[in-house]
Amino acid sequence: MNKDQFLLAVEGLTVSFDGFKAVDDLSFYLDPKEIRVIIGPNGAGKTTVLDLICGKTRATSGSIRFRGKELTKMKEHQIVHAGVGRKFQNPSVFEDLTVFENLEVSYPEGHTVMGSLAFKRDTAVMEAVEEVAGTIFLKDLLDQPAGLLSHGQKQWLEIGMLLIQKPDLLMLDEPVAGMSVAERRQTAELLRVITRDHTVLVIEHDMQFVGDIADRVTVMHQGKVLSEGSIEHVKNDPKVIEVYLGH
């Protein structure tokens, strides 16, 4: 079978920090338009997997192929241009810039030094920003400095910053952590919209939420895949109950 028919193929991925293998011979595959959720106990290596895919951490060995391109040798910004977007666990938005400017900076044009000097705020940019702002419930706050947003709104803004890049693969690290119940509900709705036309890789603990959105679930434990399959499958897997879901 041709590996490149997967959107993302992670094979034999290993990273060791001073001998400690945070991710150990990990393999998994994502189909186009799939929603995959990674769950697992703290320290299982979930965030490290996202770090490896987006280039923040370099793999010790193994391969990450995205649409046929090997990501492990590429620089962070090249991986972004290849079509991988990453949201961090703590909302990281540009607090001194307005919501509009945050989205504009993420707009996929003018990404070189000269390009950004010559960049013009034309109607295409305005429209893209407004469309995304509508999706992430921030349409009325475009001129607001991002530093003044609530925690939940910052999370949405960061998701919006990814959406405007038009990535093929979106990676979200605990998108609903620290959110109020109402915000959580809105975020689930937002993710449902996003997942219509993106492949999404999510790390999440909230099993209710996972059940709502996941096509397939990968359970990680000590840097390895413990179980993989539908939410029902992993929920009933005795190994998963043992190490993660509790007795």
Extract the runs of DSSP E, i.e. beta strands, from 44-189: 61-66, 69-70, 84-87, 169-173
Q: Which stretch binds another protein (CB under 8 A): 11-19, 62-70, 77-85, 179-187?
A: 77-85
Tokens, residue 74: 């590429």
> For another protein, which is the closer residue by CB, 102 or 218?
102
Q: Give yes or no for a contact between 237 and 227, defined as CB atoms under 8 angstroms apart.
A: yes
Q: Among 160, 56, 187, which residue's Cα sits nearest to residue 103?
A: 160
Q: Is 142 in the site for another protein (CB under 8 A)?
A: no
* Interface pattern 11-50 for another protein (x via CB under 8 A): ----------------------------------------
Considering the complex, what minimum distance in angstroms separates the CB of residue 240 from another protein? 31
Helical residues (DSSP H) of 171-229, grouped into ranges = 181-195, 207-213
Considering the complex, what minimum distance in angstroms separates the CB of residue 150 from another protein? 15
Considering the complex, what minimum distance in angstroms separates the CB of residue 158 from another protein? 8
Q: Which stretch binds another protein (CB under 8 A): 25-33, 62-70, 103-111, 193-201?
A: 103-111
Tokens, residue 57: 């951490």
- Residues β-bridged to residue 28: 10
Q: Which amino acid is at 153?
A: Q
d(CA 210, CA 195): 13
* Cβ atoms within 10 Å of 12's Cβ, excluding its own: 12
Q: Which stretch binds another protein (CB under 8 A): 100-108, 129-137, 226-234, 236-244?
A: 100-108
- Which of 4, 31, 76, 189 contacts another protein by CB under 8 A? 76
Q: Is 110 in the site for another protein (CB under 8 A)?
A: yes
Q: Are strands 216-221 and 224-229 parallel, antiparallel or unpaired?
A: antiparallel
Give the residues lining the site for another protein (CB under 8 A): 54, 56, 75-77, 80-81, 85-86, 88, 92-98, 101-102, 104-106, 108, 110-113, 116-119, 121, 143, 145, 147-148, 158, 161, 165
